[in-house]
Each structure stands twice: as C-alpha cells, then as structure tokens.
C-alpha cells in the first residue's frame, strides 16, 4: 500500500514519515511538497504545490491513503483554496482514504477568521472523499515553547483572559496520524489530538518561569494592548490577526479538550507541556 504525506518536508510531515518508517509493515511512503528533494529515503519524494492543482493530481497518483497537512500560509483565502485543491486532486487521483489535519476550535465561520478554512475543508472532505478521517490538532506545545524567549524578556505571558489549553506535542500529533494511516477502522472518525491535561495561563507562566529560572507572569490584556505589543515586536499583521483569533478561542475554551486519542492512535502516552518545555533547548 502506498501512503502519501502532503506537506512532507515540514516539521510535522517529517515526523510522520519517521513514524511510518519505525512502525514498518507492508507499505511504501511518498512525501509530497514543493521541495521533494528534502524527502529522505526510503520515502519517495514527489513535487506537489497546493497553489498549482495540476501538480497535485500527478503527485497523488497511485497513493491509497493520503495525509493532508496544511501549509502555514496566512494569506487571506489561501488556506481554504489549498485545502480544496488538495482534496479535489486526491479524489480525482483515486486516493481511497484521505486523512485531514484540521484544528481544534474549528466551527462554521467566515474568512478571514483563522479557523474558517478548516471548517470548509472538513465539510468538503466529508462531501467528496470516498473515505475520510479528521484529526484535529490542539495548539502545539512546541509553538508555546518558541514564544517563551519573547515572553521571558518582558516578564509577561499575555492573554486575552484566563484559559485552559491542552497543548499537544507536534511529535505526538505525528504519531497519532501515522497510527491512523497504518491502522483500520478509522474511516468516518473525528479525533482530537491533545496533551494529557489542560493548563491554565498562570500554570504555563509558572512552568516557563521554573524552566528558565526567570520571572514570568500571566497577564490579561485587552485586544488593543495585545495587538499593540505584537506590532511593537515587529510581527506582520496577518500573523497578529491569526494570534488574536487563537487567543479568543483559548478564552472561549475551544482548546480545553483532553482526549485519549493520541494514546489510542499512537500507542503511547502524550507528552505533557512540562516534558516538552524541559526538552526544548533554552
């Protein structure tokens, strides 16, 4: 069986390919992206560009099960178009089972809301794919760790309100995706890849402070203050809009979901935020 990973050159895609290799079995892997030369043997690299649908149809040829990993493209409308192009190309190429990486907080919404394209992609997939599985990711623990240095410089971990978030390690999401691709009985299922517990803003500031030995306080700001700080840090507007949308969903509790899905699909316990922060180079 040929298993395709679309978005294979990225951090998640590389780890899914590594997980498939470790798990072995009777399959061959195809890694698809705009940089197929980065795909490591024994996987086969193929060129496919979410912005050029014709390249995707060719890239997905002969693939039986396909994982679609979204591009980190924040241009308004881009992600929705890319998802639709990838799903259509997969269906036209005869892919039998499509696994979509979607996100927690997905619900009916309109662009440019951050989660609108995930909603339209899920709906399009359900309507058109012969078989599908949706794996909704929680917020990456590694992404929080990445912002630690900026927060530690100011001593403030900002939020729009207190929130509980079940941060998931990207590696655990990858292992869960590999479990779906190699397993049976996942057609028609929605899974939520989450960490083992939901952590408050105050708890994550305390953890980051403990790991770094520097003071850090979770601080509630209003939207204008948060936006102003991000502008001052030199972050481009599209990213700021995305960060604000994510924060709003944090406060609404949309990432406050703890499931046993990673353990069930990956066959191992998901890592806690503490474990991920501890393993992150300072």
Binding residues for ligand NAP, rule: CB under 6 A, are: 7-13, 33-35, 48-51, 69-73, 137, 139-140, 143, 170
Which residues are CB-contacts of 163 (< 8 A; sequence separation ≥ 6)?
A: 200, 201, 247, 250, 251, 253, 255, 256
To 10 degrees, what angle do helices 116-128 and 78-92 make? 10
Nearer to ligand NAP, 48 or 179 (CB): 48
Reading the block at residue 97, the tokens are 């089972």
* Nearest distance from C-beta of residue 20 to ligand NAP, angstroms: 15
Strand locations in the chain, DSSP E?
2-6, 28-33, 44-47, 65-68, 97-103, 132-137, 156-159, 164-165, 190-193, 199-200, 217-220
Nearer to ligand NAP, 28 or 143 (CB): 143
User: Which residue number places its CB atom closest to ligand NAP?
Assistant: 10
| Length of the chain, in residues | 282
In terms of Cβ atoms closer than 10 Å to its own Cβ (0-12, 13-18, 19+), residue 221 is middle
Note whether 277 and 211 are within 8 A (CB). yes
Q: Classify 32 as helix, strand or coil.
A: strand
Nearer to ligand NAP, 197 or 214 (CB): 197
Nearer to ligand NAP, 155 or 237 (CB): 237
Nearer to ligand NAP, 143 or 222 (CB): 143
Q: Classify 255 as helix, strand or coil.
A: coil
Nearer to ligand NAP, 218 or 250 (CB): 250
* Nearest distance from C-beta of residue 215 to ligand NAP, angstroms: 25
Which residues are CB-contacts of 21 (< 8 A; sequence separation ≥ 6)?
A: 29, 42, 43
* Nearest distance from C-beta of residue 164 to ligand NAP, angstroms: 15
* Nearest distance from C-beta of residue 86 to ligand NAP, angstroms: 8
* Nearest distance from C-beta of residue 79 to ligand NAP, angstroms: 7
Nearer to ligand NAP, 8 or 129 (CB): 8
Reading the block at residue 106, the tokens are 């997905």
* Nearest distance from C-beta of residue 206 to ligand NAP, angstroms: 21
* Nearest distance from C-beta of residue 131 to ligand NAP, angstroms: 22
Using alpha carbons, list the distances in angstroms from residue 114 to 161, 190, 266: 19, 20, 28
Residue 126 phi, psi (nearest 5): -60, -40
Nearer to ligand NAP, 72 or 252 (CB): 72
* Nearest distance from C-beta of residue 124 to ligand NAP, angstroms: 17
């Amino acid at each position: 069986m040929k298993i395709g990973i679309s978005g294979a050159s990225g951090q998640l895609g590389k780890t899914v390919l590594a997980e498939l290799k470790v798990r072995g079995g009777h399959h061959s892997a195809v890694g698809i992206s705009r940089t197929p030369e980065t795909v490591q043997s024994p996987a086969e690299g193929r060129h496919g560009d979410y912005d050029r649908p014709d390249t995707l149809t060719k890239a997905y040829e002969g693939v039986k099960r396909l994982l679609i990993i979204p591009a980190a493209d924040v241009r308004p409308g881009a992600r929705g178009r890319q998802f639709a192009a990838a799903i259509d190309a997969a269906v036209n190429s005869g892919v039998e089972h499509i696994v979509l990486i979607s996100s927690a907080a997905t619900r009916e919404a309109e662009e440019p809301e951050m989660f609108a394209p995930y909603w339209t992609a899920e709906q399009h997939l359900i309507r058109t794919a012969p078989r599908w599985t949706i794996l909704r990711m929680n917020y990456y623990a590694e992404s929080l760790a990445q912002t630690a240095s900026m927060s530690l410089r100011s001593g403030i971990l900002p939020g729009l309100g207190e929130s509980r978030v079940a941060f998931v390690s990207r590696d655990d999401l990858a292992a869960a995706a590999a479990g779906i691709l190699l397993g049976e009985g996942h057609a028609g299922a929605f899974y939520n890849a989450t960490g083992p517990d939901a952590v408050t803003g105050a708890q994550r500031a305390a953890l980051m402070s403990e790991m770094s030995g520097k003071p850090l306080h979770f601080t509630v700001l209003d939207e204008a203050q948060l936006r102003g700080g991000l502008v001052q840090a030199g972050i481009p507007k599209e990213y700021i809009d995305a960060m604000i949308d994510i924060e709003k969903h944090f406060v609404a509790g949309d990432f406050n979901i703890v499931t046993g899905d990673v353990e069930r699909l990956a066959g191992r316990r998901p890592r806690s935020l503490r474990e991920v922060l501890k393993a992150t180079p300072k």
